[in-house]
Structure 1
Amino acid sequence: MTSHYSSPTASYGTRINGLAIASLVCGVAGVLALSVVFGPLAMVLGVVALRQRSADEGLGFAKAGVFLGAVDLLSYVVLLTAAAFHGDFVSYLGS
């Protein structure tokens, strides 16, 4: 007896919005380093991806990118404020 079933192909997969992915990547990069650069970029890319909400998927990626971008900027402001009150970042880096 032969089987008429074939394995599924990936040709009908969902497409994820590239801006949403870029937003998430910039948000993660901003958490790790250069929050002042990648934070705003993640937020802008995420908002643009959320406004594009077409057939492309990636709503969660875009929301996460916006959130991480906001965390990046908030952490930068907190560190900048702490440095203004204490004079330098050396005490916060453990050196």
Structure 2
Amino acid sequence: MTDFPPPPPPPAAPYGGAPTSSGKAVAALVLGILGIVSCGPLAAIPAIIVGRSAQREIDASGGMITGRGLASAGVVLGWIEVGLMVLGALVVALVFAFGGTFHLSSA
């Protein structure tokens, strides 16, 4: 029976450690989802703020923090919810402004 040499050790992580995912990025995504599903602007606006903060933190980390996609998704979902809220407010304003001017007449 022949003896095989042991496998080589795994490569060392660059510059002191493996990249970690940003907690802010995860929080932004969760807030963005909550903004769309149930909480509206109470979660959507913080999703935008936390997501942008996470993006800046990730960019400044030099590759040591990951999760830019999560942060971007949270920001996009936050802006979608803000857009939906503005559209809803516009529809309500139009109904109040022009709701009394249209009459259904029966002949």
Q: Please state which band the TM-score falls in when normalised by the shorter chain.
A: 0.7 to 0.9
Q: Structure 1 length normalisation: TM-score? A: 0.75
1:12-91 matches, within 5 Å, as 14-53=19-58, 54=61, 55-87=64-96
Aligned residues: 82
Give the whole-Å Cα distance in 2 for the aligned partners of 1:42 and 1:81. 23
Give the whole-Å Cα distance in 1 for the aligned partners of 2:38 and 2:85. 10
- Show the counterpart of 2:101: none
Give the whole-Å Cα distance in 1 for the aligned partners of 2:31 and 2:93. 27
Let me know the Cα RMSD of the aligned residues.
Answer: 2.0
Gaps of 5+ in 2: 11-16, 97-107
**Structure having the higher Rg:** 2
- Structure with the larger helix share: 1
Q: Structure 2 length normalisation: TM-score? A: 0.67
